[in-house]
């Protein structure tokens, strides 16, 4: 067996990758929707068809919150282990990971000797510190989500957002507007707020330099900048931050099927 | 064993006891309530050891904010939600207001005040020294007086000694259940049932132990765990999530488990006993693992867990997983959780702190944390 598929069924997006001999051959991403099983099946069928593969030619490892319910998986692994392994795929000497996804965020510390996970922390069941927080705030500011980070980078005096709750933060944004704060400063404050929250969680488990920032939110330059400020060191981003979990799952599948 | 079987016959049993004129004394369980005195008075101690859910927690918010300990919310919800989830709660005659923690006091007071249940106070000191022992004796005497007043008759020393002896045997049986080589979930459910019925079901428990003494549930594919922190109460899904994720709780280092049976008296403690209250006071003073064991409670707990870990590791060559279960807004455990984890991790023992409430929305994330931890320690 040479072909390994990692499928990461996240709360907002489903990501699938195909690797062969450790090389990333293909990847696809689609919104998970309520019917994430169908989305997963469609992506799986597409990737097999496009690469002229049959079901028996691949080993499938699932991860993400839908890992236990997708029936195409041969095996499953949690997103914690998958992200750690995925980060090491991009950066073999990675020491820690921060992953900010659609509805959760996590920090992971790996052993410098073995590369295995030694500690992790996940956010509570709360949108603060997740991609959802940014989505809600971008909507409140009427800015497309992919432009939100760009807008935040235009400010050098971020507004102070004291609330850690998404609902209250939205009200706070409205009152900041009323007080005449600029859109850029508010956007910047929002990004700083999410970074502060996630960095606090990450510091509690002792993350260190060579930290890989992944998940969909890693594409946002402003979050990266403020995370670096909060942590006090530079962080690194893989080429495909959103695919880290799926790639990690595929690599784990490959390692498990070495013989 | 399904959760429903835990309650089988319980309502009927309580109704029967009530019809015999016995009073039901409910309380939020903790290790210093002298249940032996309640038993000696001929009354039925009813521990509130029921896990919550969204409906129960929501029902409590008319009385306390959602930032109250999720277990305390649940206890209030048990009385506030109509129709009640457990009809036997209608049979409660008195409620003990105690001070195991702030939430314990708040929930007990709310239950007494708003659901018209007469209260009995039983407060204990957080220190373990000669002054707190004196205070504990005063509270015991007061408690005994109150129970005598309710039953309108004296509770003799002999009656108390008999109850202490019966509960001592009960603790021994709980210890034996915890030591059985069975799946953790099964042992837990049996202990939960035992805590609900008390020594009344000693024959049933003895029979279970005798028929399972040599049983060995095949848990070779599971990762063995020690559960510490807050107990897993009746109807909680946590034990199922642990087992579905590939873990098996070998050792319950919680109030339903070790913290309870470790307070067993040695057999010779009953020799030449002058005053049974001396026994109860000595138990309070010697309870070094209980939360009321200031100073050094946490240090004792860490040393105790480290010993269990090392013994297990030496015997099996494997890591023993440590899950520290924290009910959200439980001041006792959540404030100390980081220190607890860091101290054990410094000793090379990996710990999973699970802080959660009883809402259904938690289920997926709880599973992920547990499974990720099991993956981590099996690497």
> Which of B63-68's residues contact partners 24+ apart within 8 Å by CB, and which partners?
B63/B110, B63/B114, B64/B106, B64/B107, B64/B110, B67/B329, B68/B103, B68/B106, B68/B107, B68/B329
Phi first, then psi, for residue B76 (nearest 5°) are: -65, -45
B338 reaches A (C-beta below 8 A): yes
CB atoms A116 and B359 under 8 Å: no
The CATH classification number of B3-155 equals 3.40.50.11890
CB atoms A116 and B379 under 8 Å: yes
Those residues whose C-beta lies under 8 Å from the C-beta of residue A154, and which sit 6 or more positions away, are: A184, A188
Q: Is the per-residue pLDDT at A120 higher than 90?
A: yes
Q: Tens-of-pLDDT digits for all 379 residues of chain B?
A: 444 477 778 999 999 999 999 999 999 977 789 999 999 999 999 999 999 999 999 999 999 998 899 999 999 999 999 988 888 999 999 999 998 888 889 999 999 999 999 999 999 888 888 999 999 999 999 999 999 999 999 999 999 999 999 999 999 999 999 999 899 999 999 999 999 999 999 999 999 999 988 777 776 789 999 999 999 999 999 999 999 999 999 999 999 999 899 999 998 888 888 899 999 999 988 887 776 677 778 888 999 999 999 999 999 999 999 999 999 988 778 888 889 999 999 999 999 999 999 998 888 889 999 999 999 999 8
The pLDDT, as a whole number, for residue B44 is 96
CB A121 within 8 A of CB A205: yes
To the nearest whole angstrom, how far is the Cα of A158 from the nearest Cα of chain B?
A: 31
Q: Regarding predicted confidence, which is higher, A102 or A246?
A: A246
* Optimal mutation site among A11, A32, A117, A255, interface B, most CBs of chain B within 10 A: A117
Architecture of domain B163-378: 3-Layer(aba) Sandwich (3.40)
At residue A19, the 3 state secondary structure works out as: strand
CB atoms A122 and B376 under 8 Å: no
Torsion sign over Cα B377, B363, B196, B75? positive
Of B338, B355, B372, the CB nearest to A81: B372
| Among candidate residues B96, B123, B128, B88, the one with its CA nearest the CA of residue B112 | B96
Those residues whose C-beta lies under 8 Å from the C-beta of residue B120, and which sit 6 or more positions away, are: B25, B94, B95, B96, B97, B143, B146, B147
What percentage of chain A carries pLDDT values higher than 90? 66
Q: Which regions of chain A carry the CATH code 3.30.420.40?
A: 1-91+243-259, 93-237
CB atoms B375 and A114 under 8 Å: no
Size of interface A-B (CB pairs under 8 A): 41
The pLDDT, as a whole number, for residue A101 is 84
The pLDDT, as a whole number, for residue A127 is 67
The pLDDT, as a whole number, for residue A11 is 83
Could you report the per-residue pLDDT of A9-34, keeping only the tens digit for each? 988 899 999 999 889 999 999 999 88
Q: Looking at chain A, which residue has its C-alpha nearest residue B359?
A: A125
Q: Looking at chain B, which residue has its C-alpha nearest residue A115?
A: B379
The pLDDT, as a whole number, for residue A208 is 96
Domain A93-237 has CATH 3.30.420.40: yes
B367 reaches A (C-beta below 8 A): yes
pTM of the model: 0.90
Q: How far apart are CA B44 and CA B38, in angstroms?
A: 7
Q: Report cis status (omega within 30 of 0) of the bond before B83.
A: yes
Of A80, A114, A124, the CB nearest to B372: A80
Q: Regarding predicted confidence, which is higher, A211 or B285?
A: A211
The pLDDT, as a whole number, for residue A114 is 82
> Which CATH entry fits the domain spanning A1-91+243-259: 3.30.1330.60, 3.40.50.2300, 3.30.9.10, 3.30.420.40?
3.30.420.40
Phi first, then psi, for residue A177 (nearest 5°) are: -60, -45
The pLDDT, as a whole number, for residue A83 is 96
Would you say the CATH fold of B163-378 matches that of B3-155? yes
The pLDDT, as a whole number, for residue B6 is 76
Of A79, A117, A125, the CB nearest to B376: A117
The pLDDT, as a whole number, for residue B4 is 43
Average pLDDT, chain A: 91
The pLDDT, as a whole number, for residue A180 is 83
Residue labelled with tokens 């959103």: A242
Instruction: Provide the CA A58 distance to its chain's centre, in angstroms.
Output: 25
- CB contacts of B375 in chain A (<8 Å) are 77-78, 80-81, 117
At residue B234, the 3 state secondary structure works out as: strand
Quickly list H helices, chain A.
Answer: 36-50, 79-90, 131-140, 145-152, 166-178, 183-204, 221-231, 244-256
CB A143 within 8 A of CB A179: no
Length of chain B: 379
Token reading at A62: 């699932």
Of A68, A81, A119, the CB nearest to B375: A81
pLDDT grade for A46, boundaries at 50, 70 and 90: very high
CB atoms A80 and B350 under 8 Å: no
The pLDDT, as a whole number, for residue B193 is 94
Q: Where exactly are the structural domains of chain B?
A: 3-155, 163-378
To the nearest whole angstrom, how far is the Cα of A227 from the nearest Cα of chain B?
A: 23
């Amino acid at each position: 067996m040479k072909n390994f598929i990692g499928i990461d069924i996240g709360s907002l997006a489903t990501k699938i990758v195909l690797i062969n001999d450790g090389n990333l051959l293909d990847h696809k991403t689609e919104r998970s929707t309520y019917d994430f099983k169908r989305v997963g099946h469609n992506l799986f069928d597409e990737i097999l068809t496009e690469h002229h593969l049959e079901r028996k030619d691949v080993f499938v490892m699932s991860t993400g919150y839908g890992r236990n319910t997708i029936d195409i998986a041969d095996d499953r692994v949690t997103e914690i282990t998958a992200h750690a392994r995925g980060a090491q795929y991009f950066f073999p000497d990675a020491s820690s990971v921060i992953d900010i996804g659609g509805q959760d965020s996590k920090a992971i510390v790996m052993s410098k000797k073995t590369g295995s996970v030694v500690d992790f922390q996940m956010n509570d069941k709360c949108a603060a510190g997740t991609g959802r927080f940014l989505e809600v705030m971008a909507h409140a500011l009427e800015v497309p989500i992919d432009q939100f980070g760009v807008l935040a980078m235009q400010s050098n005096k971020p507004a102070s957002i004291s609330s850690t709750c998404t609902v209250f933060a939205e009200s706070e944004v409205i009152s900041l507007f009323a007080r005449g704060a600029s859109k850029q400063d508010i956007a910047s404050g929002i990004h700083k707020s999410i970074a502060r929250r996630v960095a606090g969680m990450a510091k509690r488990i002792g993350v260190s330099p060579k930290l890989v920032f992944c998940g969909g939110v890693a594409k946002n330059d402003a979050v990266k900048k403020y995370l670096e400020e909060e942590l006090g060191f530079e962080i690194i981003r893989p080429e495909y931050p959103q695919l880290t979990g799926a790639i990690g799952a595929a690599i784990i599948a490959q390692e498990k099927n070495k013989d | 064993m399904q959760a429903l079987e835990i309650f089988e016959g319980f309502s009927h049993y309580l109704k029967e006891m009530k019809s015999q004129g016995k009073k039901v004394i409910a309380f939020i369980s903790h290790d210093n309530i002298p249940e032996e005195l309640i038993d000696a008075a001929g009354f039925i101690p009813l521990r509130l050891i029921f896990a919550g859910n969204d409906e129960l927690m929501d029902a409590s918010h008319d009385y306390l904010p959602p930032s109250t300990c999720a277990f305390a919310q649940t206890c209030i919800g048990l009385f506030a939600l109509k129709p009640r989830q457990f009809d036997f709660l209608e049979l409660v005659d008195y409620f003990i207001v105690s001070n195991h923690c702030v939430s314990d006091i708040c929930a007990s007071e709310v239950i007494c005040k708003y659901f018209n249940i007469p209260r009995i106070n039983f407060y204990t000191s957080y220190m373990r020294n000669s002054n707190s022992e004196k205070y504990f004796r005063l509270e015991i005497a007061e408690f005994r007086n109150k129970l005598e007043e309710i039953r309108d008759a004296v509770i003799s020393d002999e009656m108390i000694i008999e109850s202490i002896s019966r509960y001592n045997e009960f603790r021994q049986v709980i210890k034996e259940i915890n030591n059985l080589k069975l799946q953790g979930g099964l042992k837990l459910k049996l202990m939960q049932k035992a805590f609900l019925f008390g020594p009344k079901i000693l024959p049933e428990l003895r029979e279970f132990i005798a028929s399972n003494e040599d049983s060995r549930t095949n848990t070779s594919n599971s990762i063995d765990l020690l559960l510490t922190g807050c107990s897993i109460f009746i109807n909680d899904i946590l034990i199922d999530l642990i087992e579905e994720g590939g873990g098996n709780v070998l050792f319950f280092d919680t109030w339903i488990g070790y913290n309870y049976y470790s307070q067993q008296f040695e057999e010779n403690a009953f020799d030449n006993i002058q005053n049974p209250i001396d026994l109860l006071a000595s138990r309070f003073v010697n309870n070094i693992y209980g939360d009321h064991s200031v100073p050094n409670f946490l240090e004792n707990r860490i040393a105790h867990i480290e010993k269990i870990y090392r013994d297990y590791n030496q015997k099996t060559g494997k890591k023993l997983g440590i899950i520290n279960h924290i009910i959200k807004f439980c001041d006792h455990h959540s404030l100390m959780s980081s220190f607890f984890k860091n101290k054990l991790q410094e000793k090379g023992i990996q710990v999973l702190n699970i802080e959660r409430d009883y809402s259904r929305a938690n289920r997926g994330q709880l599973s992920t944390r547990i499974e990720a931890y099991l993956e981590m320690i099996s690497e």
